[in-house]
Amino acid sequence: VDKKDAKLALAHMIVAFTALFLGGICGLLQVLVRSGKMELPAGIGYYQLLTAHGVLLALILTTFFIIGFQFAGMSRTAGTLSDKTRLAGWIGFWTMTIGTAITTFYILTGEASVLYTFYAPLQAHVGFYIGLALVVVGSWIAGFAMFVHYAKWKKQHPGQNGPLLSFMIVVNMALWLIASLGVAATVLLQFIPWSLGWTENINVLVSRTLFWYFGHPLVYFWLLPAYMIWYVVIPKVIGGKIFSDSLARMSFILFLFFSVPVGFHHQLTEPGIDPFWKYIQVVLTLMVVIPSLMTAFSMFAMFERFGRSKGASSLFGWLRFLPWKDARFLVPFIGMIAFIPGGAGGIINASHQLNQVVHNTIWVTGHFHLTIATTVILTFFGAAYWLIPHLTGRTFTNQLNQLAIVQAVVWSIGMLIMSGAMHWAGLYGAPRRSSFSLYGNSSQAADWIPYQIAQAVGGTMLFLGILLVLYIVVQLLWFAPKGDEEFPIGETEEHAEKTPLFFDKWWLWIIIVVVLILLAYTIPFAHMIEQAPPGSPGYRNLC
Ligand code: HAS
């Protein structure tokens, strides 16, 4: 990666890991409070912490890491960014950073304890929403810069498929752009006027629907960069080949189709949405599982073919040949394993009847700590171990590699305890998003306490894991020995079939996405606006 592009990517990484540190401290305090063994000092509110934790980790860490990684990936596979593209990248970076600072300020001053989903009728200071809007606008600028860069490559290479990693980046940014229109609409048209007092009420159902129109594809915006690393980087790290370039592209296009029109699976218990439309979106949710199953198949195939090429003959003998001592492989691999129960939990959540059991319980928190906080984050950590030294011109030494393996083990055990306890307690009805309470000495609530203590034990281990990863990242940024670290990009099998050219038919894909979104949302959305009871508190028609 060119030095100037490296600087841009590194700036994003630094904000991402700072967010990890601050968000991690909030996470530690939260689990301790919830165990009933600690009270927060200095008038800090539980929901203030929970908001900071969710915003800094789920929104800021992820967005900055992803955009930084993607700029580096574009530069590596589609060539050095032009001065204009890089400038757009910097404008996007500063817009997002200023937005982050404003939002964080209002959370820390206690004026925005509305959690990362900021559901109405919870209301924050207008600065919270403006800051978030700036983060979204900054990410759009970055996205457009990436589109322009890819289009330029295509122009210079007529009749060729865009490089796989760059293609995947374009899909992810297209997904993000389409999805974030929903959150931009609710923030600009509903929350900002309402928090400024320009409008008296807010249509809660519309705001939640626009949020989840964004909120579910958001999780795939997090997941797809992890899949980029699995599909493109891991084959090179283990010394194998990409199983199928076409399959990888196809799975990304399927994510583009199916990740947006599924937001109702977060609203299955909400009144005001006809069950028929919930049913349609549950079906579409099960469709979005397919590209993940394709990815699982592809990963198994890649690992097995590699092992067999080294001489493995028994059913699982190929496992022996994987580079278990290389953190660049092992850390994301643990992420893959976590996605087996994590994905199964997602399918449970999406099943309408089972959702009635788990919705708003701490099971859901367990689910997303397995998916985003293990599968995705461990893959990002594994990538940071080669990406940061590649960008800084340093090396990922043996010692750091060993520490990274210890980090992943600490993380896995901590998460197994914390997320396991969350899943279990959720099945006993323990609510999510609540501080410690004896609920008037209810015997059911008493049963949750041991699980809450287990969560505190697991959460403390996770905080230790954060300190370890931060130590490694600081070393890689400023102190590790100078050298050349590879940015690994896999190649396809020698005799692989040529990837068809139609994958770059972007207009067709966008039309299909728009049709699916209109199909899933138009009628129920029109109902929400029509049927909102105008006189009732908290409700107001949009128009
Ligand atoms: Fe989810 C709630 C459904 C995936 C994140 N999810 C959440 C929330 C978050 C989140 C943050 O339908 C909470 C939001 C909030 O605050 O309210 N989720 C799904 C479904 C999937 C899914 C169907 N979620 C994710 C991913 C996330 C994420 C990914 C983050 C990155 N989720 C839901 C639903 C809710 C929900 C409901 C709402 C619940 C409620 O009531 O509030 C699917 O995409 C999952 C498909 C995945 C698979 C797994 C494939 C396995 C692979 C690994 C292969 C392993 C290998 C290694 C190759 C089917 C790819 C093995 C090697 C060996 C040798 C063994």
DSSP string, 112-169: --S-TT--TTS---HHHHHHHHHHHHHHHHHHHHHHHHHHHHHHHSTTSPPPHHHHHH
Q: What whole-number percentage of the chain has pLDDT above 70?
A: 98
Residue 49 has pLDDT above 70, yes or no: yes
Residue nearest to atom 11 of ligand 1 (CA): 368
Region 101-105: what's the mean pLDDT? Answer: 97
How many Å lie between the centroid of ligand 1 and the Cα of residue 372?
8
Model confidence at 455: pLDDT above 90: yes
Q: Is 299 in the pocket of ligand 1 (CB under 6 A)?
A: yes
320-324, 493-497, 498-502, 528-532 — most confident range: 320-324
Instruction: Say how far apart CA 369 and CA 88 lie, in whole Å.
Output: 33
- Ligand 1 centre to CA of 161 (Å) is 30
Q: Does the pLDDT value for residue 297 go beyond 50?
A: yes
The predicted pLDDT at position 531 comes to 73
pLDDT (tens digit per residue) in 171-201: 999 999 999 999 999 999 999 999 999 988 8
Is 369 an active-site residue?
yes
Residue 511 CB–ligand 1 contact under 6 Å: no
Is 367 annotated as catalytic?
A: yes
Amino acid identity, residue 350? A
Average pLDDT over residues 327-345: 97
Please state, in angstroms and rounded to a whole number, the distance separating the CA atoms of residues 381 and 466: 10
Q: How far is the CA of 133 from the centre of ligand 1 (A)?
A: 26
352-378 average pLDDT score: 96
Cα 6 to averaged position of ligand 1 atoms, centre (Å): 32
Active-site annotation holder among 34, 216, 266, 390: 216
Reported confidence tier of residue 542, pLDDT bands at 50, 70, 90: very low
Task: State in Å: Cα 82 to ligand 1 middle.
Answer: 37
Distance of CA 320 to the CA centre of its chain: 31
What integer pLDDT is reported at residue 532 of this predicted model? 67
**Predicted model pTM:** 0.95
pLDDT-based confidence at 435, cuts 50/70/90? confident
Task: State the Cα–Cα distance between residues 395 and 398, nearest whole angstrom.
Answer: 9
**Residue 289, pLDDT score:** 95
Task: Indicate whether 35 pLDDT > 90.
Answer: no
Q: Tokens 């399927």 map to which residue?
A: 254
Active-site annotation holds for 432: yes
Query: 273 CB under 6 A from ligand 1?
Result: no
Look at ligand 1, atom 17, and give the residue with the nearest C-alpha. 266
Mean residue pLDDT across the chain:
93
pLDDT of residue 538: 44
The confidence band for 61, taking pLDDT boundaries of 50, 70 and 90, is very high
Q: Given pLDDT bands bounded at 50, 70 and 90, which one contains residue 153? A: very high
Residue 473 above 70 pLDDT?
A: yes
Q: What is the mean pLDDT of residues 70-99?
A: 96
- What number does the ligand 1 atom closest to the CA of 58 have? 11
* Helix and strand totals (H; E) in the chain: 18, 0
Does 502 sit in the ligand 1 pocket, CB within 6 Å?
no
The reply to whether 433 belongs to the active site is yes
- Ligand 1 centroid–CA 374 distance in Å is 11
Model pLDDT, residue 436: 84
Task: Pick the residue whose CA is nearest to atom 46 on ligand 1.
Answer: 343
Give the DSSP H/E element, type plus range, for residue 99.
helix 83-108
Q: What per-residue confidence (pLDDT) applies to 264?
A: 93
- Return the residue whose CA atom lies nearest to atom 48 of ligand 1: 343
Does ligand 1 lie within 6 Å of residue 117's CB atom? yes
**Residue 368 a catalytic site member:** yes
Rounded alpha-carbon distances, angstroms, from residue 309 to 200, 303, 316? 68, 10, 13
ipTM of the complex: 0.96
pLDDT of residue 537: 45
Peptide bond into 235 cis (omega under 30): no
The packing angle between helices 83-108 and 46-53, to 10°, is: 170
Please indicate whether residue 374, judged by its CB atom, sits closer than 6 Å to ligand 1: no
| Averaged pLDDT for residues 92-106 | 97
| Cα-to-centroid distance, 148 and ligand 1 (Å) | 31
Could you tell me the CA-to-CA distances from 4 to 133, 150, 201 in Å, in that order?
A: 28, 18, 48
Ligand 1 atom nearest to CA at 350: 12
Look at residue 247 and tell me whether its pLDDT is greater than 60. yes
Which residue's alpha carbon is nearest to atom 56 within ligand 1?
Answer: 336
**Smallest Cα–Cα separation from 303: which of 278, 276, 332, 277?**
332
3-state secondary structure of 511: helix
Please name the residue whose Cα sits nearest to atom 16 of ligand 1. 117
Residue among 368, 380, 385, 503 flagged as catalytic: 368
Per-residue pLDDT, 536: 46
- Establish how many alpha carbons lie within 13 A of residue 297's alpha carbon, considering only the half-sphere containing its beta carbon: 10
Please state which of the ranges 34-48, 269-283, 299-313 shows the lowest mean pLDDT: 34-48
pLDDT, one tens digit per residue, over 255-288 is 999 999 999 999 999 988 999 999 999 999 999 9
If you average pLDDT over residues 236-245, what whole number do you get? Answer: 94
Sorting pLDDT into bands at 50, 70 and 90, what band is 534?
Answer: low
At 361, give phi and psi (nearest 5°): -100, 170
> Cα of 8 to ligand 1 centre, how many Å?
31
Closest CA to 239 of 183, 182, 173, 310: 310
Name the pLDDT band for 528 (thresholds 50, 70, 90).
confident
Q: What is the pLDDT of residue 533?
A: 58
